[in-house]
Amino acid sequence: MNVLSTPWFYWAVAIAIGLPVGLIILTELHNSLVRRQSHLARQVSLLRNYLLPLGALLLLLVKASQIPAGDGTVRILTTLFGFLVLVLLLSALNATVFQSAPEDSWRKRLPTIFLDVARFALIGVGLAMILSYVWGVRVGGIFTALGVTSVVIGLMLQNSVGQIVSGLFMLFEQPFRIDDWLDTPTARGRVVEVNWRAVHIETGTGLRITPNSMLATTSFTNLSRPGGSHKCTITTKFALADAPNKVCAMLTRVAAGLPQLKSGTMPETVALGGGEYRTTVRLRSPADDGVAQATFLPWVWYAARREELHLDEADDEFSTSDRVQDALRTMVGPELRLSLTEQQSLVPYARVVRYGADEIVQHAGVVPKGMAFIIAGSVRLTATAEDGSVIPIGTLNQGAFLGVTALTRQPNPAGAVAVEEMTALEIDREHLERVVMNKPMLLQELGRLIDERQSKARRVGHRERVG
């Protein structure tokens, strides 16, 4: 009998050629995916190491060796092959749809409970097909038996099953997603995980596990919806003698400098009566709530004392005559070459003030009302690029001064932010002019300093545009 006319010959040749070629192709593909750090590298490895050799073995047994498909060994190998295909499908689905998803996409925020449901459904369909086509089992009878069994199990596990069903109904409605902020009767925080039984909420004190059945039967607030609408409300109290308009203006100005403030919005402050004031700030995220309050309250403490207001009805006696005279003698006098008489003439018009860490000391583009001489601490000079980003351009330490353009009526070339608590001596422009206008050498030095800071701010802005 001619071997070329036998049916097994072509199958044997195809397997002998196809298996090595397939292994080579899959090996090269796997190496390429590993270099690109692709999530599909593991799936290609599974296909190369297990599925392809096992598929070739089954073809060799059934087609080349003519072993019946109903043979026990063939059935076992076919069942193993089906399981591997099922594993490959599950792994590939997870890698392509979810692992490679962008951080802000719906696929990344999809609760894990939906993934579990999809996996169980795919596993159930796969097992049913294996039992039906490989082993000849009547799947309909199994499903009927499972239906009766599930009723019995459901009665036995009413609480657990109830939580699962409650979780499914609630999540199908999609009242929240992963990374949303919730305010529930028992916890306030960010949703980090949703599973069959409970929702995991990350709070400031730890991870709070809230059963799905509890969330399904109680009301809660999703602080992240609609997006960008979260407000932080802070209440402060001042002395009744403080002018309400002045207090509201100060609180609004301080809140407008918060780094957590949502772009394009402005804070609002209203007087509640009895010395209480409420400041409302729109934030970028509920996650900024605690940080915004922790920043705002210390800044208000410093700003109230600079504005001679009485936060919590407290008086401030920091700027004493002795402190002013000492600062004029040790800091201002040597820098501006002031005589003792000139120093004494400035005492009634100078005061010692303090700024909190990260508080804005000077705004760029604003004409200052006076000069400030740094007594303690340091400030960071900043420039604003065309895209609105703030870029540090230098640091001023003890002995340096700000607001030099007050004498020339020019806007500040750079902004200034306190690095830590900073103490400064402030002198109004009109009183300082009387002293320094008769010092031409000093005015020339101040002019060079203004040009230097303006040039540095322009260089930084130009470098950002070129970059």
Confidence of residue 176 (pLDDT cuts 50, 70, 90): confident
CA dihedral sign of residues 390, 280, 243, 420: negative
Q: DSSP assignment of 315-369, as one string?
A: ----S-HHHHHHHIIIIIHHHHT--HHHHHHHGGGEEEEEE-TT-EEE-TTS--S
Q: Which residue has the higher pLDDT, 277 or 96?
A: 277
Model confidence pLDDT, tens digit, residues 122-160: 887 888 888 777 777 776 666 665 665 666 565 555 565
Could you tell me which CATH number the domain at 159-222 has? 2.30.30.60
Q: Which residue has the higher pLDDT, 170 or 259?
A: 259
Coil, helix or strand for 284? Answer: coil
**Element containing residue 427 per DSSP (H, E):** strand 422-428
Per mean pLDDT, which range of 170-179, 323-332, 379-388 is the poorest?
170-179
Could you tell me which CATH number the domain at 231-306 has? 3.30.70
Joined tokens for residue 257: 């400098």
Coil, helix or strand for 449? Answer: helix
Joined tokens for residue 434: 């009387």
Q: Is the pLDDT of residue 424 over 80?
A: yes
Confidence of residue 162 (pLDDT cuts 50, 70, 90): low
**Element containing residue 213 per DSSP (H, E):** helix 212-217
pLDDT of amino acid 58: 84
The percent of the chain in helix, strand and coil, each rounded to the nearest 5, is 55, 20, 30
Confidence of residue 168 (pLDDT cuts 50, 70, 90): low
**Element containing residue 396 per DSSP (H, E):** strand 390-396
pLDDT of amino acid 466: 39
The backbone torsions φ and ψ at residue 423, rounded to the nearest 5 degrees and listed phi first, read -110, 135
Q: How far apart are CA 268 and CA 232, in angstroms?
A: 11
Q: How far are the Cα atoms of 35, 103, 116, 124, 162 from residue 111, in angstroms, in the given order?
A: 30, 14, 9, 21, 18
Q: Is the pLDDT of residue 467 over 50?
A: no
Q: Is residue 331 within 8 Å of residue 375, measured between CB atoms? A: yes
Q: Which residues pair with 372 in a beta bridge?
A: 402, 426
Q: How far apart are CA 370 and CA 431, in angstroms?
A: 9
Q: Is the pLDDT of residue 465 over 50?
A: no
Neighbours of 15 (CB within 10 A): 17
Joined tokens for residue 390: 């703030």
**Domain 321-466: homologous superfamily in CATH:** Jelly Rolls (2.60.120.10)
- Mean per-residue pLDDT for 302-308? 94
Q: Is the pLDDT of residue 464 over 50?
A: no
**Element containing residue 277 per DSSP (H, E):** strand 276-282
Model confidence pLDDT, tens digit, residues 24-72: 998 999 899 888 888 788 888 888 888 888 888 888 888 777 788 778 8
The backbone torsions φ and ψ at residue 381, rounded to the nearest 5 degrees and listed phi first, read -80, 140
| pTM: predicted TM-score of the whole model, two decimal places | 0.63
CA-based nearest residue to 453, from 407, 394, 409, 399:
394
Q: What residues does each domain of the chain span?
A: 3-157, 159-222, 231-306, 321-466
